[in-house]
Amino acid sequence: MPVAAQVLRHATERPHQLALCGPGGSLTYAQLWERVSTRRLGDKGLVAISLADPVEQLVTVLAADLAGATPLLCEADQFARVTAAVPVSMHVESALPEAPDPAPSPSEGPDDLAWACLTSGSTGRPRAVVRTRHSWTGSFPHLSELAGIGPDDVVLVPGPLVSSLYGFAAVHALAAGATAIVPGRWSPGTLTVQLRRASVVHLVPHRLPAVLAVVEEVGGPLRTAVVGGAALPERSRAMAAKAGVRVVSYYGATEMSFVAVDADGSGLRPFPQVEIEVRRGEVWARSPWMAQGYLAGAAGPLTTDAEGWTSVGDLAEPYRPGEVLRLRGRGDGAIQTGGATVVPEDVEAVLRDVRGVTDLVVIGSPHPQLGSVVTAVVEGSPSRSALETAAREGLDPAQRPRRWYAMGALPRTPTGKPARALVAARLADDDPAISRLV
């Protein structure tokens, strides 16, 4: 079902329910439907949306949904690179004009291309992943059930909607009839106000501790944190339990959507209607939630076999149905050092628990004899001796970093994950913001 149709239903049944709360104001469901239904798009192709206000972004996304177009959210400074990479039919950079008559009721087309999202990792030419309406909205009821999200909830979405994770979270909240708080960016200064209202938060793992710290300090109705985009440290789940917040964590990819979910802390298991295999260490999945692929024939990590199984190169331990899926990271980030293969996430999982570490990135640095050496770039204020002790106690010799660096703040992708490739590039360019850790 088109999300616009669900918004129309909520506007009819609960017109005064708040739908969106953004930095520029709020809209009830009746006001949201009026805005959406009186905006017109002159094209049904790929519509690039680079509006700054997150409420206007969502109004335009829903107007595109209503018109049968394919919305693609992007930052204004990305647009030139986007148009060079994908076939954009229309660019929306200011609020759409009002039409004299409301639009007709939305019609359902499960195979319509209803959503596109940029994915380029941390650097490089952007790729647009495109998906059908059903692959986008068909998973909504499953997430609602797993996380217990319904019309009476207030869902905080504390990040940029150009990220597929945050964009999905906001649209899902609207489809569920909940209230979505959409600040458009991470804003620590407003967390206290937001968390006095939010019953659910949907975010990336490294933002969760800050949210839990505010909850412990000032309280609030927060009961559930939906966490995706990277591995969730066990200490974060323990912090959540102490704060009385249930964590629903999931594993997926922009190209594959949901693959596995951990709704109770027992480990990742297949998301509803998902089949999982691990072939030669790589995760493969088959489900109705897979994307169609990349626009304009762009190359990327997405691989599909003749039977509909899909992979993006993520690594895992051997897996059998009924067991917990144990991820090891992305295969394309593996470090070859002295004949050994090191998965960066394996190293990061051990070092991230060292006192004083806020976050870190492990990369391979060129070495004339070994090919590469394992290199850690740390955010925070740990001692090198504590890091080396943790490495000796928890890692094999080949996994232990040979070089240690520190940064005040790691660069991040739009989803909030550390930008591994950008860290490597900046280290290679002798960026003065990266210093030797002594």
pLDDT tens series, the chain, 438 aa: 679 889 999 999 999 999 999 999 999 999 999 999 998 786 678 999 999 999 999 999 999 988 889 999 988 877 877 777 788 889 999 988 887 766 666 566 667 888 998 875 433 456 789 999 999 899 999 999 999 999 999 999 999 998 889 999 999 999 999 999 999 999 899 999 999 999 999 998 889 999 999 999 999 999 999 999 877 888 899 999 999 999 999 999 889 999 999 999 999 999 999 999 999 889 999 999 999 999 888 877 889 999 999 998 888 999 999 999 999 877 667 787 876 678 888 899 899 989 999 999 999 998 876 778 999 999 999 999 999 999 999 888 888 999 999 999 999 876 678 888 889 889 988 999 999 998
Secondary structure letter of residue 150 according to DSSP: -
Q: In sequence order, which residues have a C-beta less than 8 Å from that of residue 65 and are 6 or more positions away? A: 2, 3, 4, 71, 106, 114
The whole-number pLDDT of residue 122 equals 37
Angle of CA points 324, 329, 332, to nearest 5°: 140
Residue 31 exposure: Cα atoms within 13 Å on the Cβ side: 12
CB distance 167 to 116 below 8 Å: no
Relative to beta strand 90-92, strand 200-203 is: unpaired
The rounded distance, in Å, linking the Cα atoms of 66 and 37 is 8
Ramachandran region, residue 118 (left: φ > 0; alpha: ψ -120 to 50; beta: rest): beta
**The two structure tokens encoding residue 295:** 């626009």
The rounded distance, in Å, linking the Cα atoms of 148 and 199 is 10
- The CATH number of 334-436, from 3.40.30.10, 3.40.50.40, 3.30.300.30, 3.30.70.600, is 3.30.300.30
The rounded distance, in Å, linking the Cα atoms of 67 and 415 is 28
Note the helical H segments in 45-85.
Answer: 54-67, 79-85
Question: How many residues comprise the chain?
Answer: 438
User: 3-class DSSP state for residue 133?
Assistant: helix
The rounded distance, in Å, linking the Cα atoms of 249 and 262 is 5
Query: Quick one: which of 60, 87, 88, 74 has its CA closest to 3?
Result: 60
Relative to beta strand 127-132, strand 293-294 is: antiparallel
The whole-number pLDDT of residue 421 equals 83
156 exposure class (CB count in 10 Å sphere: 0-12, 13-18, 19+)? buried
The rounded distance, in Å, linking the Cα atoms of 231 and 329 is 9
